[in-house]
Structure 1
């Protein structure tokens, strides 16, 4: 099944951010992709196209501070980018053929962090997080680029509970299905952060945790990219497609 691809503009805080909507011929669940800091929707398009072919309406987009709005990277805050994610989610569920009770969000690194916050503000049934980053709650309205990197690395090595962090709090309230993907050799999101996320999802309907052997944070090798695509496709097929065919 081929997907119809359409370039779109998403309105967020009075500005436009670019996105690409991929949709199959029949009405099906929706999947929102949220890229990481320094990334773009281009990194998600191939996987979105694959999932659209499986029968999902997929939306990729560029967070403010990236691609056409790169000039804003030194001023954009986490608050701004969460507003972008909310705007993209609302655009996705506004599609005529969408099943509003069947929404999946797939986030990478910073996008994974934002995706967890989204679950406390909008209904999400399935949540896939690849190497989700973690940030302290304070300095929420400060430019994301100015956050102290050394302090961040120290913070991410700590053992944190849902009471310590708003993203982990959102995870603790999530009752859907979760895919958590870790890179074995990640210099940005250490194992401790992944375990903090995993422990926080204690109310999740299901938890699937996968480690990509030999992979770094960015999945720099073709083998690592292929492994992640395989994990994601299998999970989507089991969870999302399976729910539509009565196999779950």
Structure 2
């Protein structure tokens, strides 16, 4: 099977962000990757190409403040990055081979946080979050880079309910399938944050929580990278590749 890769630019709020569509040309599930703060789509491309080979259309992209728009790093806000994500999502579902009712979103850290917010604004059937970060609701339009780091560290260790946080509220409403991936030795996103997310997914159709043993936040070792890639591929194969809409008729109205 020939895999096609297309580099595109997405216009958003007067700027452009770079994205890459990786497609087998005929498969219908769509998968959107959202990188973390300080990352780029390059970190997702290898996994996207592998998953495309399983029979999906995958899309990676660069949030503003990264790569070609690195000059905006000190000024870009969460609102602007959420708009980036919405633009990428809308471009993915416009692809001729993508079924808009069969969309998976895979978010890492900051990208995982943004992905939860996306689920309250667009239909998402499968949601994979690796070390999803947490941010308070206030200062929404303050540059993301300016948020107080020590306050964030403290906030992420607090017990939080869906009524306390916009991202957790979105999780509480999500009725699809969820994968939560935690790093055993994470200095940025503590276990308490993962438990807040896990507790919030009370309406999810299924919830899988896995810990990558010995891993840090950025999966800095080859062993950790391989462990996460294998875990993600297995979950995608089970949840996305193996699913058919007529096998799960209860999915039809869940995003209405």
User: Cα distance, 1:12 vs. partner?
Assistant: 1.0
User: Cα distance, 1:246 vs. partner?
Assistant: 7.9
SS in 2 for 1:140: coil
Aligned residue pairs, count = 248
SS in 2 for 1:37: coil
Structure 2 match to 1:199: 199
Structure 2 match to 1:75: 75
Structure 1 match to 2:3: 3
Using a 3 Å threshold, how does the CA distance of structure 1 residues 180 and 214 change in structure 2: closer, same or farther? same
SS in 2 for 1:185: coil
Query: Which structure 2 residue ranges, 5 or more long, are not aligned?
Result: 249-256
Task: Indicate if the aligned counterparts of 1:171 and 1:197 stay in contact, CA closer than 8 A.
Answer: yes
Structure 2 match to 1:27: 27
Structure 2 CA distance for aligned equivalents of residues 14 and 59 of structure 1 = 22
Structure 1 match to 2:45: 45
Query: Which structure 1 residue ranges, 5 or more long, are not aligned?
Result: none
Structure 1 CA distance for aligned equivalents of residues 245 and 37 of structure 2 = 36
State the TM-score, normalizing by the size of structure 1: 0.98
Structure 2 match to 1:121: 121
Task: Indicate if the aligned counterparts of 1:2 and 1:52 stay in contact, CA closer than 8 A.
Answer: no
SS in 1 for 2:99: coil
1:135-170 deviation digits (Å, cap 9, x = unpaired): 000000000000000000000000000000000000
SS in 1 for 2:242: helix
Structure 2 match to 1:139: 139
Structure 2 match to 1:177: 177
User: Cα distance, 1:2 vs. partner?
Assistant: 3.6
In the alignment, structure 1 residue 224 sits paired with structure 2 residue 224? yes
Structure 1 CA distance for aligned equivalents of residues 124 and 247 of structure 2 = 20
Structure 1 CA distance for aligned equivalents of residues 25 and 170 of structure 2 = 34
Structure 1 CA distance for aligned equivalents of residues 86 and 130 of structure 2 = 19
Structure 2 CA distance for aligned equivalents of residues 247 and 84 of structure 1 = 33
1:69-113 deviation digits (Å, cap 9, x = unpaired): 000000000000000000000000001111010000000000000
Structure 1 CA distance for aligned equivalents of residues 128 and 52 of structure 2 = 16
Structure 2 CA distance for aligned equivalents of residues 171 and 244 of structure 1 = 24
Instruction: Spell out structure 1 runs of 4+ moving beyond 4 A.
Output: 245-248
Root-mean-square deviation (Å) = 1.2
User: Cα distance, 1:244 vs. partner?
Assistant: 3.7
Structure 2 CA distance for aligned equivalents of residues 104 and 241 of structure 1 = 11
